Amino acid sequence: MSVYEAIRLRRDVRAEFTGDVVDDATLWRILDAAHRAPSVGNSQPWDFVVVRDPATLRKFADHVADKRVEFRNVLPQERAETFEPIKIEGITESGTGIVVTHDNTRGGPHILGRATVPETGVYSTVLAIQNLWLAATAEHVGVGWVSFYDAPFLTDLIALPEGITPIAWLCVGPVHEFQQIPDLERLGWRPRRPLTEAIHHETYRTP
């Protein structure tokens, strides 16, 4: 699969997991792709916690369900109705959670390139996630990013040491198919912007 094909095929997956668990060799290739991401000062600030214990998956899914209710309860009526049928996670169905974490101390205090833009550390970890996502797609493995959680809850659930921040819970598993249109677009939450709107010339404000 070409990189362009993987980019076009990639979806955030919630409902299309087969129920099979991704095999270890495939998971290794996907994590190897993630670990080859660029990083500020070559700091490689990421780690990957692979979670497969059904009891842990269940606990996290229950926490996320509570957070979903909290979000729905602050939506205006019309948005709440649009939100209702939208599935926001496939934690137990995917069979594997990968928590991508960030260590801002890795590489010491003098990270080449981070002095002026401190966020470049976290940007680096997010690039590892994008590598992971595209590699998984090329393996016909789905990925769904879950951010409906309180960081302290997840930190406690998987025993993260102090200073290690959870950046994402990724549901990872084989899929029946990839949807062609993002769920949020198909279900009327928000469409894709045209590329022409995102491109600016010379300055942000083009006349």
Ligand X SMILES: Cc1cc2nc3c(=O)[nH]c(=O)nc-3n(C[C@H](O)[C@H](O)[C@H](O)COP(=O)(O)O)c2cc1C
CA-to-CA dists, residue 153 to 45, 80, 85, angstroms: 21, 25, 26
Tell me: does residue 11 bind ligand X (CB under 6 A).
yes
Region of 46-54, 77-85, 108-116, 143-151 interacting with ligand X (CB under 6 A): 143-151
Residues 33, 180: Cα–Cα separation, whole Å: 24
Tell me: does residue 184 bind ligand X (CB under 6 A).
yes
Residues 6, 10: Cα–Cα separation, whole Å: 6
What x-and-dash track marks residues 28-47 binding ligand X by CB under 6 A?
A: --------------------
Per-residue b or e along 54-74, where b marks 16 or more CB atoms closer than 10 Å to that residue's CB: eeebeebbebbeebbeeeeee
Residues 171, 142: Cα–Cα separation, whole Å: 8
Tell me: does residue 113 bind ligand X (CB under 6 A).
no
Region of 50-58, 69-77, 106-114, 140-148 interacting with ligand X (CB under 6 A): 140-148
Tell me: does residue 187 bind ligand X (CB under 6 A).
no
By beta-carbon proximity to ligand X, the closer residue of 88 and 98 is 88
Tell me: does residue 123 bind ligand X (CB under 6 A).
no
Interface positions with ligand X (CB under 6 A): 11-12, 14, 88-89, 145-148, 182, 184
